[in-house]
Amino acid sequence: MGQNSTNSTLKRIAFVGNYLPRQCGIATFTTDLCEAIATQYRQKTCIALPVNDIEAGYDYPARVRFELTEKDIDSYRRAADFLNINNVDLISLQHEYSIFGGPAGSHILVLLRELRMPIVTTLHTILRDPNPDQKRVLKEIAALSDRLVVMSKRGAEFLNEVYGVLPEKIDLIPHGIPDVPFVDPSFHKDLFGVEGKIVLLSFGLLSASKGIENVIAALPAILARHPNVVYIVLGATHPQVLLNEGETYRLSLQWLAQEKGVEGQVIFYNSFVSLEKLVEFISAADIYITPYLNEAQITSGTLAYTLGAGKAVISTPYWYAEEMLAEGRGVLVPFRDPAALADQVINLLDNESQRHAMRKLAYVFGREMIWPRVAKRYMESFESARAKRRHFTHPDFAVKPLDKRPGELPPLKLDHLHHMTDETGILQHAIFTVPNYREGYTIDDNARALMVSALLEAVGNEAALELGSRYLAFIWYAFNAENGRFRNCMDYQRNWLEEGGSDDSLGRTLCALGTVLGRSNIAALYNMAGWVFEQALPAILKTTSPRAWAFAIMGIQEYLQRFAGDRQASHVREELSSRLLKLYQSHRSDEWRWYEDRLTYCNAALPHALLLCGYSIPDAAMTEAGLESLGWLTDLQHADTGYFVPIGSNGFYPKGGERALFDQQPVEAQTMVSACLEACRITLDKRWLKKARRVFEWFLGRNSLNLSIYDPTTGGCRDGLHPDRVNENQGAESTLVFLQALLELRLSENILIALEDRSQ
């Protein structure tokens, strides 16, 4: 077969998707497809670019040439550069929303937009009712791809009807399967100690969506008719389920088996097995069952494998099963109906001739699905894509000027953050890079650190849980139930130096707790944060600091993203935002568009908070005030030559007085970055995104002294800019606000998607 393509222009093919030994269906498929093509077409070079969901990555084979990090958007840009300079002729992308970072897996768009070669995308999920992000992402993937591969007719229909893809761009290629002989199930049963038994089998990574409980619930009725039946559940718990929920689902299945009195007939094989071992398990099965709970599954590797091996199959009617098991190749039963499932198992076991006829139909149908034939079909799709693109260059592939492709962000480096954190929390100050024990700890800094840990979780950094637990423990301990507020300062001997901290420390801590509640998927963190947040929230209404109100609003807004029905939180948000708006209206003039008669610290937090409320409540007056005041502040802090000049802390800027240019503090840059990003989200005006990046460059040396505030050797940030030098101390606040600004920019890909959509 490989001899037929000696004149092919395709020499190097790159496969992008998960890859073995990562344990998931996409990894198995990508690996099998890559190896099948490499085997059938030996004159071609096949390389793989897997996506890592853990920081350590996996022990990949030599075919893997570059690794992407799921939630690190810069790794997608680097992957595009790698592919473009390594003479790759075609990309085979395996698409599934959940394997890529960003909203609906949007980070993959960053890679695809930069590529200079044809792209053939295999779609493993095609939703009939996508949410707006899912639809937007898939439509752009379709536009950037030269051909789209689907594995079912219904998938092709959805692409055309829901996503507007023309039929001539779609290739229907079945899910590949190993080529195995048609054997009697008894042949391999002795390998598993079930000789003489009737074997029911389900396999795949275990999660609650698999519906295994319905098979166990059906077993008593089946065993009453056929007492020599055993049910094998093969597969490890899905790694993400294991990370977030442990073995809760598997344990519930074991308890159900005990409750039904069938524990002696259920065998759990908790392992991700090799292909060779999987084929042996399939061969030993008399009936294969897929009791999935959701119809919205457009393909299933496990069903394809067993169908092609000539197994009698019973399945719930999800989309792929309806198509594959038509014309007598299998049996469908309703979702969540153990009685109907039991009836069909009994019927097939009672009617051996029917069962064997079904097996033969399935086996013959599966001959078109074996990997050598599927590899040939893929090569035909690849050659078609290459032929059509040979003389075409997408306009996006042109070399981009700097204003169209912003500079790369620094790598995420947490060395100094770890250095400043001990078993109590994060220390307040440092002398150069050495923690200053004399100054102890504050809740202000531990709240900032908790917020950074929530953002670290959002980008998939494994340090999030360890660091977040320490900072949240500090906040829990700082809470004073007698007054509903937080103690702020603690000495190195863990003695509190006050019974209640400042208004700002209360607002900032609520901001951090709300961020954890809105974003974290770590149950231990959001459960603990929820209790403290609820107890401390009422106290913010008694404060008088506008910045405390602003910080609290940010936290409440994050919280309401997940708990929108909380009326108390909504009431507090509306009360605080109303106070801010009144302040602005009472102080504003054409020359002074501000909330007070003095610009001081964390200034951009005030318009940021009003923008959040104006958009979400909604309230047009708040949005208008937020944009006007932020625009005024941006212009005020903008040097003639383009760099950011924050209000100095040595005197600040009283209305009608002299503005302090120094000392410039890192927290001013961070609050400005955050506010500009929010303005961009709300307005979809890309100028705000440019301003956010320009402000961030202040950390990197685009400032009054052309000196870097960020220290790339430690990952820390220096404490500010004096008139003639940088403050070399790298305290907690400076390092944390730098990390927050960096992480927020990394997480701003959803803004880029919306801007791209608007420009089309």
Task: For residue range 208-235, list pLDDT tens digits in order.
Answer: 889 999 999 999 999 999 999 999 999 9
Give helix 107-114 / helix 749-759 axis angle, nearest 10°.
60
Of 454, 468, 554, which Cα lies nearest the Cα of 504? Answer: 554
Same domain, 346 and 217: yes
Same domain, 588 and 657: yes
Is the pLDDT confidence value at 397 over 80?
A: no
As a whole-number percent, the residues of the chain with pLDDT over 90 amount to 79
Pick the range with the lowest mean pLDDT from 99-103, 182-186, 718-722. 182-186
Euclidean distance between CA atoms 597 and 162, whole angstroms: 55
Of 328, 262, 322, which Cα lies nearest the Cα of 296? Answer: 322
Same domain, 42 and 172: yes
Tell me the C-alpha to C-alpha distance, in Å, between residue 393 and each of 82, 108, 389, 398, 402.
19, 20, 7, 8, 21
Euclidean distance between CA atoms 402 and 171, whole angstroms: 38
> What is the per-residue pLDDT for 322?
96
pLDDT bracket for residue 403 (50, 70, 90): very low
Mean pLDDT of 701-717: 92
Mean pLDDT of 282-290: 94
Same domain, 627 and 749: yes
| Strand, coil or helix: 166 | coil
Of 649, 671, 664, which Cα lies nearest the Cα of 508? Answer: 671
| Strand, coil or helix: 6 | coil
pLDDT bracket for residue 752 (50, 70, 90): low
> Looking at the domain assignment, is residue 388 inside a domain?
yes
> What is the per-residue pLDDT for 275?
80
In 24-103, at which residue ranges do the beta strands (DSSP E only) sit? 45-49, 51-52, 68-69, 90-95
Is the pLDDT confidence value at 30 over 50?
A: yes
Mean pLDDT of 442-446: 98
Same domain, 225 and 352: yes
Same domain, 387 and 330: no
Euclidean distance between CA atoms 407 and 156, whole angstroms: 39
Contact status, residue 260 vs residue 252, Cβ threshold 8 Å: no
Tally of CA atoms within 13 A in the half-sphere of 11 that contains its CB:
4
Which has the higher per-residue pLDDT, 427 or 235?
Answer: 427
Tell me the C-alpha to C-alpha distance, in Å, between residue 299 and each of 26, 136, 292, 316.
11, 21, 12, 13
Same domain, 384 and 419: no
Is the pLDDT confidence value at 55 over 60?
A: yes
> What is the per-residue pLDDT for 411?
85
> What is the per-residue pLDDT for 751?
67
Length of the chain: 760
Euclidean distance between CA atoms 266 and 645, whole angstroms: 69
- 277-286, 381-390, 609-618 — most confident range: 609-618
Distance between alpha carbon 94 and the CA centroid of its chain, in Å?
17
Euclidean distance between CA atoms 670 and 605, whole angstroms: 10
> Looking at the domain assignment, is residue 684 inside a domain?
yes
Mean pLDDT of 65-92: 92
Mean pLDDT of 165-177: 96
pLDDT bracket for residue 675 (50, 70, 90): very high
> What is the per-residue pLDDT for 402?
38
Is the pLDDT confidence value at 240 over 60?
A: yes
Euclidean distance between CA atoms 43 and 106, whole angstroms: 34
For 309-318, write each residue's pLDDT tens digit.
999 999 999 9
Euclidean distance between CA atoms 45 and 448, whole angstroms: 49
Is the pLDDT confidence value at 393 over 90?
A: no
Query: In this structure, what token pair is assigned to residue 16?
Result: 């992008």
Mean pLDDT of 658-662: 96
Euclidean distance between CA atoms 739 and 72, whole angstroms: 14
> What is the per-residue pLDDT for 749?
64
> What is the per-residue pLDDT for 399?
39
For 90-117, write each residue's pLDDT tens digit.
999 999 999 999 889 999 999 999 998 9
> Looking at the domain assignment, is residue 575 inside a domain?
yes
In 240-299, at which residue ranges do the beta strands (DSSP E only) sit? 266-269, 287-290
Average pLDDT, the chain: 92
> What is the per-residue pLDDT for 405?
44
Distance between alpha carbon 666 and the CA centroid of its chain, in Å?
29
> What is the per-residue pLDDT for 603?
97
Same domain, 583 and 714: yes
Contact status, residue 520 vs residue 455, Cβ threshold 8 Å: no
Same domain, 382 and 436: no
Same domain, 115 and 191: no
> What is the per-residue pLDDT for 695?
97
> What is the per-residue pLDDT for 555?
98
> What is the per-residue pLDDT for 391?
41
> Looking at the domain assignment, is residue 391 inside a domain?
yes
Same domain, 104 and 219: no
* Domains held by the chain: number: 3
pTM over 0.85: no
pLDDT bracket for residue 750 (50, 70, 90): low
> Looking at the domain assignment, is residue 407 inside a domain?
no
What's 601's DSSP letter?
S
The dihedrals phi and psi of 150, each to the nearest 5 degrees, come to -120, 160
As a whole-number percent, the residues of the chain with pLDDT over 70 amount to 95
Is the pLDDT confidence value at 758 over 70?
A: no
pLDDT bracket for residue 443 (50, 70, 90): very high
Euclidean distance between CA atoms 47 and 62, whole angstroms: 9
> What is the per-residue pLDDT for 400?
43
Is the pLDDT confidence value at 305 over 50?
A: yes
Pick the range with the lowest mean pLDDT from 148-157, 259-268, 751-760. 751-760
> Looking at the domain assignment, is residue 410 inside a domain?
no
> Looking at the domain assignment, is residue 743 inside a domain?
yes
Tally of CA atoms within 13 A in the half-sphere of 239 that contains its CB:
12
Is the pLDDT confidence value at 243 over 80?
A: no
Contact status, residue 121 vs residue 96, Cβ threshold 8 Å: no
486-495: long-range contacts (C-beta < 8 A, 24 or more apart)?
Answer: 486/443, 486/536, 487/443, 488/442, 488/443, 488/444, 489/440, 489/441, 489/442, 490/424, 490/440, 490/441, 490/442, 491/440, 492/437, 492/438, 492/440, 492/441, 494/424
The dihedrals phi and psi of 624, each to the nearest 5 degrees, come to -65, -45
In 213-358, at which residue ranges do the beta strands (DSSP E only) sit? 229-234, 266-269, 287-290, 312-315, 331-332
223-226: long-range contacts (C-beta < 8 A, 24 or more apart)?
Answer: 223/262, 223/265, 225/346, 225/349, 225/350, 226/198, 226/346, 226/349
CATH at 324 = 3.40.50.2000
Question: Domain span at residue 124?
Answer: 2-176+372-397
3-state secondary structure 116-151: CCCEEEEECCCCCCCCHHHHHHHHHHHHHCCEEEEC
pLDDT bracket for residue 734 (50, 70, 90): very high
Angle of CA points 554, 556, 560, to nearest 5°: 120
Is the pLDDT confidence value at 126 over 60?
A: yes
> Looking at the domain assignment, is residue 402 inside a domain?
no
CATH at 497 = 1.50.10.10
H helix or E strand, kind and range, residue 580? helix 567-587
Distance between alpha carbon 742 and the CA centroid of its chain, in Å?
17
Mean pLDDT of 372-398: 76
> What is the per-residue pLDDT for 425?
98
pLDDT bracket for residue 74 (50, 70, 90): confident
Q: Which amino acid would we find at residue 686? A: K
H helix or E strand, kind and range, residue 155? helix 153-163
Same domain, 672 and 721: yes
